[in-house]
Amino acid sequence: AQTVTQSQPEMSVQEAETVTLSCTYDTSESDYYLFWYKQPPSRQMILVIRQEAYKQQNATENRFSVNFQKAAKSFSLKISDSQLGDAAMYFCAYRTQGGSEKLVFGKGTKLTVNP
């Protein structure tokens, strides 16, 4: 069974600085998708970025980028030029291929942005 581990329950960053959130996963599948979701205080789950396992190039979306290390099964999220609106819970997730196609979530990292 796939598992996702986020080892940092909480992180903080100064506004305009860069922060990296860690995520590791375990799977025996060769092709899969990884996602980072943001959950602000409104509780809405918002997709931040996704990465296909077969693509070696790291995904980027504006100030958000990932460092995907397939052999190490690592999928970290880098937030550059942090803004107050980035404060939220961040969940790393793996979507399983076949079967339930469920998202397997990590336990989340709470990010605080200090002005």
Partner 1 sequence: EAQVTQNPRYLITVTGKKLTVTCSQNMNHEYMSWYRQDPGLGLRQIYYSMNVEVTDKGDVPEGYKVSRKEKRNFPLILESPSPNQTSLYFCASSPQGYYNEQFFGPGTRLTVL
**Site for partner 1, rule CB under 8 A:** 4, 32-33, 35, 42-45, 47, 50, 52, 91, 95-98, 100-103, 105-108
**Closest distance between partner 1 and the C-beta of residue 69, in Å?**
20
Instruction: Tell me if 38 sits within 8 A of 49, measured CB to CB.
Output: no
Q: How far apart are CA 25 and CA 36, in angstroms?
A: 13
> Whose Cβ is closer to partner 1: residue 63's or residue 102's?
102
Nearest to 66 by CA among 30, 93, 88: 93
Beta pairing class for 10-14 and 109-114 = parallel
CB of 67 to partner 1, least distance (A): 21
Pick 4 or 21: Cβ nearer partner 1: 4
CB of 20 to partner 1, least distance (A): 20
**What are the structure tokens assigned to 14, written together?**
């100064």
